[in-house]
Homo-oligomer: A and B are copies of this chain.
Amino acid sequence: MHKGTGATHWIIPDGYIPEKSSGELTSHESICVLNCSSEDAQLIITIFFEDREPMEDIFVIVPARRTNHIRTSSLAKDGVPIPVGVPYAIEVRSDIPVIVQYSRLDATQPANALMSVVAYPVS
Name A88's contact: one of B30, B67, B119 (CB within 8 Å).
Answer: B67
In the bound complex, CA of A34 to CA of B66 (Å): 27
Name A11's contact: one of B5, B49, B53 (CB within 8 Å).
Answer: B5
How far in angstroms is the closest Cβ of chain B from A2?
A: 10
Q: Which of A13, A34, A68, A114 has the most CB of B within 10 A?
A: A13
**Contact assessment for B89 and A32 in the assembled complex, using a CB-CB cutoff below 8 Å:** yes
Q: Which of A61-85 contact B (CB under 8 A)?
A: 65-69
How many residues in A have their beta carbons less than 8 Å from beta carbons of B? 53
In the bound complex, CA of A30 to CA of B13 (Å): 11
This protein's copies in its complex: 4
* Chain B residues in 8 Å Cβ range of A24: 108-109
Name A117's contact: one of B9, B116, B122 (CB within 8 Å).
Answer: B116
A1 in contact (CB, < 8 A): no
- Contact sample, A vs B, 6 pairs, CB 8 Å cutoff: A6-B122, A12-B101, A36-B48, A49-B67, A115-B116, A118-B120
Residues of A within 8 A of B (CB): 5-6, 9, 11-14, 16, 23-25, 30, 32-34, 36, 48-51, 53-54, 65-69, 87-89, 91, 99-101, 103-106, 108-122
